[in-house]
Every structure is written in C-alpha cells, then in structure tokens.
C-alpha cells in the first residue's frame, strides 16, 4: 500500500490551528450571542473535527473508498440526529383524540 509521508510542518500547523480555535471557542463562550451561541460553538467544533479527520487521520491523502467510508460515518450520524429530532421537533404536530 502507498504510504503518504506528511511533513511535521503540516502537523504543527494543524496543531496550532486547533489550539487557536480552542481559545476562540473559550473566548466566544464569554460573550452572550443569544441564539447564535450554539451555532458559533458548533461551527468551530465542526471545523476542528474536519481538520483532525483530514490531516491527523490522513483522510486527505487516502483513496476514494476511504472517503466513501468516512462520508458514510458522518451520514449515519446525520441519520441519528435527524430522526431523533423528527420526534422532538414534532411533539405538538398531531394530537391523539381524547
């Protein structure tokens, strides 16, 4: 199997990026943005997770098949969230006749 050698420079860059984003999360948490609190925090978290998956887990340098499997993992996570919310978000939609 082909091994892709990643230079330490990239690892350090990603590490610094992750550290900076952690600090950003922490600082933003001190501001009250109302509804945007969760949105901002989740956006930063998703960016960080993406960096880890792409570089630390080498997915960026991997085959298309690996991309399919990684994609499937996230798609299944989306299924879990979406169908769970299909319960919570629709609790008042239909009522049972008394």
Which one of the spans 3-11, 19-27, 51-59, 90-98 is the region binding another protein (CB under 8 A)? 90-98
Which of residues 5 and 65 has its CB atom nearest to another protein in the complex? Answer: 65
The separation between CA 31 and the C-alpha centre of its own chain, rounded to angstroms, equals 22
Cα separation, 66 vs 29, whole angstroms? 35
The helix (run of H) or strand (run of E) holding residue 89 is: none
Which of residues 3 and 87 has its CB atom nearest to another protein in the complex? Answer: 87
Which residues ranging from 52 to 81 are in contact with another protein (CB under 8 A)? 65, 72-73, 76, 79-80
- If one asks whether residue 87 binds another protein (CB under 8 A), the answer comes out as yes
Nearest to 15 by CA among 23, 3, 26, 27: 23
- If one asks whether residue 98 binds another protein (CB under 8 A), the answer comes out as no
Q: Which residues contact 61 (CB under 8 A, 6 or more apart)?
A: 4, 6
Site of interaction with another protein (CB under 8 A): 65, 72-73, 76, 79-80, 83-84, 86-88, 90-96
């Amino acid at each position: 199997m082909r091994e892709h050698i990643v230079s330490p420079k990239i690892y350090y860059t990603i590490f610094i990026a992750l550290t900076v984003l952690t600090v950003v999360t922490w600082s933003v948490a001190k501001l009250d943005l109302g509804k945007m609190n969760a949105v901002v925090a989740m956006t930063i978290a998703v960016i960080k997770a993406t960096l880890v998956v792409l570089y630390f887990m080498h997915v960026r340098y991997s085959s298309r098949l690996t991309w399919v499997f990684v994609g499937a993992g996230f798609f299944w996570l989306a299924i879990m969230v979406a169908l769970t919310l299909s319960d919570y978000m629709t609790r008042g939609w239909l009522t049972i006749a008394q």
